[in-house]
Amino acid sequence: MPAIFTYQKKDKLKSRKQTQHLFSTGKAIGVFPLKLIYSIEAVDPITESIGFDIVGLQGVLQAGVGAPTRNFRKAVQRNRVKRLLREAYRLEKPFFVSQINLAQKRVNLFILYTNSNVLSSLEIQEKVRTALTILAEKINAFKL
């Protein structure tokens, strides 16, 4: 399996500060049953760092997934939906990254599953692809 289909720790949105900023100031794209919340920011390549990697001209793309307790009461159900979302994002990420120009940008995104009925893996992947294509157009239109 090629190394491009990965969803590693550096690709995950873990920072509480970044997550709170995303939910407070981010914009949303709705592709039923998904809601993609995103924020695009210009980064200073000298001061921005993640772990041990200094962010250069390539930019930063981090993502997270979630399923609300309101729709999925049992943790087993929530975890299954989140697993399906992560897998769909992992498979669609190489195509998404090839469409966008991340130079000196930080893109945080969070995918929420809003329906109480779980779709199949292929249907979820198609919805994630649609949402990421819409987001790619917005990222490319973003001016520093």
Q: Which domains does the chain have, with CATH numbers?
A: 9-141 (3.30.230.10)
Q: What is the pLDDT of residues 73-112, one digit of tens each?
A: 999 999 999 999 999 999 999 999 999 988 888 999 999 9
pTM: predicted TM-score of the whole model, two decimal places: 0.86
What's residue 144's pLDDT?
67
Give every residue of the chain whose pLDDT is below 50, as ranges: 1, 51-56
What's residue 18's pLDDT?
93
Residue 24 CA, chain-centre distance (Å), reads: 16
